[in-house]
Each structure stands twice: as C-alpha cells, then as structure tokens.
C-alpha cells in the first residue's frame, strides 16, 4: 500500500517528502475541492521535495461540476503540457457528461496531451467518479483509456462509508488499475482499506490556521465566519499515516 498526501503549498510538499509519503497530489484551494496549481507552486514544490517523492498535479481549471466546455478543455490541455514539462510524474484529471457517465471524448484528449508531453506520465482519475452514475462500469472505460489509478471514496461521502464498493472496485480492477481510497479518510480507516486490497490511501492531512482579530474585514465571498483562515499540511498526521501504512505493509510481508 502506498501513501498519497494532497498538499496546497511547497511547504506541505516538503513535509510529505520528509515524512516518507510516496506521492503528493499538488493542488490549490482544497476548500473548493481543489483546482490546478500554478507553475510557480509546481517549481517550488519540486525544489522542496528534491526527488524524494512523486508529484501529481490536479488538473481542474475551475471549481464546480465536471462538465467542461471546449474552452475549459483547452485550458486544461495547456496546464497538462506545462506541468508535465516542469517535471510532474503524472496528472490527476476527470470529466463527466450531463448523464453522469465518463466523458470519454474529453478524457481521451487530456490523456493524449499528457502522453504527448511525457509518454511515461501516469494518469489518475479523481473523485469525479464519485459523482458518476456507475463507478463500477467506469473502471473498464478507464482501463481502455490507459489510466493508472482511480481516487475514490466508493461513491459515498467518505471512504469509510464507501468501503464495500471500494473493495468491489479493487477486486474488479485487478492489477491493471490501482484503486486509491480517499475522501474523508480517517487514520483509523486505513487498516480496513489495506485488508480490502486497496493499493493506496489518500489524505489531505490538513489543519486550519487563523489570524482572525477583532474587526477583520472579509475581502470576498467565503464560507464561514473567518476570512483569515487557511489550511496547511499537518506533519503529525502525515507521520501517523506513514507509520500505520508501514506497519500494515510489514505485517503483510
């Protein structure tokens, strides 16, 4: 089992690397479900990890649904090219039709863009699959498109609740498509994910930082009552997750 951490900063990337994570999903604005990181963030993250783990940037040009316009797709193609050229090991993408099925036409274009930039680039399908009509039926399509792995909570709000579906997905995917559990994943869920045959777990491992003071003025629309709040990667959570994964892998060996 591998450990992936979702991070939104170069400092977070460095923490994940120093605590032994195998991969990071690099993104911005986790509070919006994640959007594409900037090229500057990618460059800084590469410097902080110094080759100690893989970086897989999220390719999502806007928040909201996964039904993309032609302009959206053009933007994401450019993002894929630039981020892979900078040194990303793969990209994390997803697209759906209005009927809740995989948008194969868009996914093929994104996959082609990735392979044109780096023929060895890995392709991860993100949690758009949890908004699809039938996540099990989607697996065969993703195999045909050449995807490496799927990040999913098993079609439920949290990976813990989706464990039965995750186990079925892992069984059906076999060795050709990695099923990575993520989405509301708690540390105490990891042993069950390992037992169910999941090849990886994905955590945001985040904590909230705030500098809220009396009379602070909000500068834009934001949920909650604290316009100063932001998230950072929590080192202790990453460390605990890695220790748990190592223990499970060691017991298996």
What pLDDT is stored for residue 253 in this prediction? 58
Q: In this structure, what token pair is assigned to residue 3?
A: 């450990």
**Of 96 and 217, which is predicted with more confidence?**
96
Which among 199, 135, 123 is positioned nearest to 162, based on CA atoms?
Answer: 135
Which of left, alpha, beta for 26 (phi over 0: left; psi -120 to 50: alpha)? beta
Mean pLDDT of the chain: 95
Chain segment 135-162, per-residue pLDDT in tens: 999 999 999 999 999 999 999 999 999 9
For residue 223, pLDDT over 60 is answered with no
Chain segment 91-128, per-residue pLDDT in tens: 999 999 999 999 999 999 999 999 999 999 999 999 99
Compute CA distances 170 → 17, 39, 151, whole Å: 27, 34, 11
For residue 182, pLDDT over 80 is answered with yes
Residue ranges of alpha helices (H) inside 174-225 are 190-195
Start-to-end C-alpha separation, the chain: 11
Q: Are strands 230-233 and 206-209 parallel, antiparallel or unpaired?
A: antiparallel
What pLDDT is stored for residue 242 in this prediction? 98
For residue 72, pLDDT over 90 is answered with yes
Residue ranges of alpha helices (H) inside the chain are 10-18, 39-49, 70-86, 104-117, 135-145, 163-173, 190-195, 235-252
| Separation CA 55–CA 49 (nearest Å) | 9
Q: Among 127-131, 212-216, 221-225, where is mean pLDDT lowest?
A: 221-225
Question: Rounded to two decimals, what is the model's pTM?
Answer: 0.94
């Amino acid at each position: 089992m591998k450990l992936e951490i979702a991070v939104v900063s170069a400092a977070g990337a460095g923490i994940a690397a120093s605590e032994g994570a195998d991969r990071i999903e690099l993104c911005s604005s986790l509070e919006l479900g994640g959007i594409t990181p900037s090229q500057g963030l990618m460059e800084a993250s590469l410097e902080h990890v110094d080759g100690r783990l893989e970086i897989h940037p999220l390719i999502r040009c806007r928040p909201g649904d996964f039904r993309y316009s032609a302009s959206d797709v053009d933007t994401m193609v450019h993002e894929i090219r630039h981020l892979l050229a900078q040194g990303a090991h793969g990209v994390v993408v997803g697209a759906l039709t209005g009927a809740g099925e995989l948008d194969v036409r868009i996914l093929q274009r994104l996959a082609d863009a990735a392979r044109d930039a780096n023929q060895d680039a890995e392709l991860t399908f993100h949690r758009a699959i949890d908004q699809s009509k039938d996540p099990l039926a989607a697996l065969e399509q993703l195999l045909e498109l050449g995807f490496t792995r799927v990040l999913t909570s098993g079609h439920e709000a949290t990976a813990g609740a989706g464990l039965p579906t995750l186990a079925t997905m892992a069984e059906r995917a076999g060795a050709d498509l990695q099923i990575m559990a993520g989405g509301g994943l708690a540390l105490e869920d990891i042993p069950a994910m390992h037992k169910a045959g999941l090849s990886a777990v994905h955590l945001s491992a985040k904590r909230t930082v705030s500098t809220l003071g009396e009379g602070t003025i909000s500068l834009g629309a934001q949920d909650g009552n604290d316009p100063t709040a932001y998230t950072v990667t929590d080192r202790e959570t990453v460390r605990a997750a890695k220790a748990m994964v190592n223990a499970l892998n060691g017991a298996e060996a």
